[in-house]
Amino acid sequence: MMLAGVALDKVCLALARDGADLKGSLWALRGNEWTRSPEQLKLRRRLCNAYRPMARAMGLRELLQDILAGEDADTLDWWCSRAMRSRLEPFKDLARTIRKHRAGIIAFLRTRVTNGLVEAINGLIQLAKRSARGLRSFKKFRLIALLKADRLQFNLPHALPT
């Protein structure tokens, strides 16, 4: 979703370069509808009515968010083809990126497991490496790494059958 927000910002920047009056609309355009105030929602609707590319970009962003909340690979493919036909270059780039990393995105949609656990363990190993500075054997380094990772709990969800 971060890349979709960046693509939306690029569309807004291109509109501003072409002379669109977007002053004070940064936070009205960013984020989700349910986190915006009534004034921001009103401004968002006014800008989408005034600038068609912004309305298309906002719609694509919200569609992608709804698709990523589910786990349907076909709908994600449909979104990519729609984004490629949108005439919005930032969203075309996003569609290419999604197609390039499709397997990983689909795996995440099915399992909702990220690589956060691996990154956490790597951080603990780096901490152990700093703590073991001055010790000369791998055996002692491994002992310190195991002591640092002592309280890890692996509560991974079971993968859904495919």
Which pLDDT band, with edges at 50, 70 and 90, does 52 fall under? very high
Q: Which residues, 6+ apart, have CB-to-CB distance to 7 below 8 Å? A: 57, 60, 61, 88, 90, 91, 93, 94
Of 60 and 153, more confident = 60
Percent of the chain with pLDDT over 90: 30
Buried b / exposed e along 80-92 (16+ C-beta atoms within 10 A): bebbeebebebbb
Share of the chain above pLDDT 70, in %: 93
Burial of 11 (0-12, 13-18, 19+ CB in 10 A): buried
Q: Read off the tokens for 60.
A: 């694509």
Average pLDDT over residues 42-57: 90
Q: Which residues contact 61 (CB under 8 A, 6 or more apart)?
A: 4, 5, 7, 8
Average pLDDT over residues 85-92: 94
pLDDT at 121 over 90: no
**Is residue 152 scored above 80 in pLDDT?**
no
pTM, 2 dp: 0.72
Are the C-beta atoms of 31 and 2 separated by less than 8 Å? no
